[in-house]
């Protein structure tokens, strides 16, 4: 019976989450392709064998496929779903049909269609955040301990996951960011921390311990810290916002998430941050399951918005096969006024495909190592 419960909590939310985000992404490509007069032959959620599908009046085959780990739009004239190569049969299309085939569009239209996928992910996240801000209030990350770093001050003091930090040196802690603010103000290296554990208040007094951390500018520094990490849970602070203010706050939230993600990627590339933090499909499934099992529906929706931004951003990375790789190619074609040769395009996409597979293998390995430590450590 336990395995069935885990399926409900981990597999089902993951499939729903990924299905929604993939649909949003591909819908962006689809909508702009239609506006540009390009025929979409297939709109698929998932890969592999078709489980269910229908064809609309415009000739698009909408389908759900057996492997729910992505999706694609395939345009008229493309040999594959990534639009990396032209169908060899495309040259046989009539002049009238070529007007609706993707390979025969000008690079400006191709660029708009490619950018529409990541753009849809960002728009979806902004709509989610704006709706929450307008109808419910501002999102707050409570000062609840999710993880305690080994050999940290918190670990030595006996602070454990799920403890809620109420005060530091007598100052009230309302959200997780307040913890660093108060710790940075400590001058004598010692703190008094009041926590709430299982409904009981506890007061702890202990010295801080210096830990090495990555700063916002990418540099590494040592500073006195508690050594705790937040938990995947949110609270909503009731704040009255106009619709315009809600969208402004949502846009700022999307920008902050993007900036933090890019900063983290940059730190990994320069070696200032461990590549072990890279996660893949298994990690997403684990996180979506944990949230659905331990938290509420709102937490799941916020996580979906966060993941939508990350999906849109990653797809903009200038790697052939991803949307960002296509963007670079079309920009080159716009500047030079000529298309890249089929040989060059094929070489670029083979390189991109190899790189993506390598990253997926690395991320999956990290996921398995993390799960092993979670289950057996």
Q: For the segment 356-372, what is each residue's pLDDT rounded down to a tens digit?
A: 888 888 888 888 887 77
| Contact criterion met (CB below 8 Å) for 9 and 292 | yes
Higher pLDDT, 128 or 175: 128
**Per-residue pLDDT, 51:** 93
Decide if pLDDT at 155 tops 80: yes
Mean pLDDT of 178-186: 82
Q: Which pLDDT band, with edges at 50, 70 and 90, does 209 fall under?
A: confident
Annotated catalytic residue 194:
no
What pTM, to 2 d.p., does this model score? 0.81
**Per-residue pLDDT, 93:** 81
Mean pLDDT of 259-270: 79
Q: Which pLDDT band, with edges at 50, 70 and 90, does 344 fall under?
A: confident
Annotated catalytic residue within 2, 26, 174, 253:
26
Q: Which residue has the tokens 């639009």?
A: 83
Q: Which pLDDT band, with edges at 50, 70 and 90, does 131 fall under?
A: very high
Mean pLDDT of 52-62: 94
Q: Which pLDDT band, with edges at 50, 70 and 90, does 17 fall under?
A: very high
**Per-residue pLDDT, 269:** 76
Task: Give residue-wise pLDDT tens across range 75-111.
Answer: 998 876 666 666 556 667 888 888 999 988 999 999 9
Q: Which pLDDT band, with edges at 50, 70 and 90, does 348 fall under?
A: confident
| Residue 12 CB neighbour total at 10 angstroms | 13
Mean pLDDT of 7-28: 88
**Per-residue pLDDT, 256:** 85
Higher pLDDT, 182 or 374: 182
Alpha carbon 180 to chain centroid distance? 25
| Contact criterion met (CB below 8 Å) for 190 and 168 | no
State the SS3 of the chain: CHHHHHHHHHHHHHHHHHHHHHHHHHHHHHHHHHHCCCCEEEEEEEEEEEEEEEECCCCCEEEEEEEEEEEEEEECCECCCCCCCECHHHHHCCHHHHCCCHHHCCHHHHHHHHHHHHHHHHHHHHHHHHHHHHHCCEEECCCEEEEECCCCHHHHHCCCCCCEEEEECCEECCCHHHHHHHHHCCCCCEEEEEEEECCEEEEEEEECEEEEEECCCCCEEEEEECCEEECCCCEEECCCCCHHHHHHHHHHHHHHHHHHHHHHHHHHHCCCCCHHHCCCHHHHHHHHHHHHHHCCHHHHHHHHHHHHHHHHHHHCCCCCCCHHHHHHHHHHHHHHCCCCCHHHHHHHHHHHHHHHHHHHHHHHHHHHHHHHHHHHC
pLDDT cut 90: percent of the chain above it: 40
**Per-residue pLDDT, 236:** 78
**Per-residue pLDDT, 108:** 95
Out of 23-27, 274-278, 313-317, least confident range:
274-278
Q: Name the nearest CA neighbour of 15 among 279, 232, 289.
A: 289
Out of 10-19, 272-281, 357-366, least confident range:
272-281
| Contact criterion met (CB below 8 Å) for 72 and 321 | no
| Contact criterion met (CB below 8 Å) for 79 and 87 | yes
**Per-residue pLDDT, 20:** 95
- State the chain's mean pLDDT as an integer: 85
Decide if pLDDT at 340 tops 70: yes
Domains and CATH numbers, the chain: 2-36+105-136+288-376 (no CATH), 145-232 (2.30.42.10)
Using only C-alpha atoms, the chain has a radius of gyration, in whole angstroms, of 24
Decide if pLDDT at 67 tops 70: yes
If 0-12 CB within 10 Å is exposed, 13-18 middle and 19+ buried, where does residue 205 land? exposed
Out of 12-21, 128-137, 236-245, 282-291, least confident range:
282-291
């Amino acid at each position: 019976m336990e395995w069935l419960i885990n399926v409900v909590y981990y597999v089902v939310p993951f499939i729903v989450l990924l299905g929604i985000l993939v649909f949003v992404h591909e819908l962006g490509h689809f909508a702009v392709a239609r506006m540009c007069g390009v025929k979409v032959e297939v709109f698929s959620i998932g890969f592999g064998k078709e489980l269910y599908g229908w064809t609309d009046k415009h000739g698009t085959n909408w389908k759900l496929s057996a492997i729910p780990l992505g999706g694609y739009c395939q345009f008229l004239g493309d040999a594959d779903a990534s639009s990396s190569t032209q169908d060899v049969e495309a040259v046989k299309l009539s002049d009238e049909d070529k007007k609706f085939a993707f390979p025969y569009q000008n690079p400006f239209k191709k660029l708009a269609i490619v950018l529409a996928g990541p753009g849809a992910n960002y728009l979806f996240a902004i709509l989610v955040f704006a709706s929450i801000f307008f109808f419910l209030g501002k999102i707050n990350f409570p000062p609840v301990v999710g993880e305690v770093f080994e050999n940290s001050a918190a670990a030595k003091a006996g602070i454990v996951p799920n403890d809620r930090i109420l005060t530091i040196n007598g100052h009230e802690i309302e959200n997780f960011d307040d913890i660093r603010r108060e710790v940075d103000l400590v001058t004598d290296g010692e703190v008094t921390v009041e926590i709430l554990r299982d409904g009981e208040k506890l007061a702890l007094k202990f010295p801080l311990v210096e830990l090495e951390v990555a700063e916002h500018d990418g540099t590494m520094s040592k500073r006195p810290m508690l050594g705790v990490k937040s938990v995947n849970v949110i609270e909503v602070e009731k704040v009255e916002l106009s619709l315009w203010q809600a969208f402004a706050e949502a846009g700022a939230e999307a920008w902050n998430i993007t900036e933090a993600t890019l900063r983290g990627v940059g730190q990994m590339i320069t070696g200032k941050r461990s590549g072990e933090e890279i996660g893949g499909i298994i990690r997403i499934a684990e996180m979506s399951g944990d949230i659905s099992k331990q938290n509420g529906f709102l937490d799941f929706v916020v996580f979906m918005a966060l993941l939508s931004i990350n999906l849109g951003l990653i797809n903009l990375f200038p790697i052939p096969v991803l949307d960002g790789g296509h963007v670079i190619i079309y920009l080159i074609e716009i500047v030079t006024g000529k298309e890249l040769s089929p040989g060059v395009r094929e070489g670029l996409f083979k390189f991109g495909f190899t790189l993506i597979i390598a990253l997926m293998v690395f991320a999956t390995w990290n996921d398995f190592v993390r799960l092993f430590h979670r289950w057996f450590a």
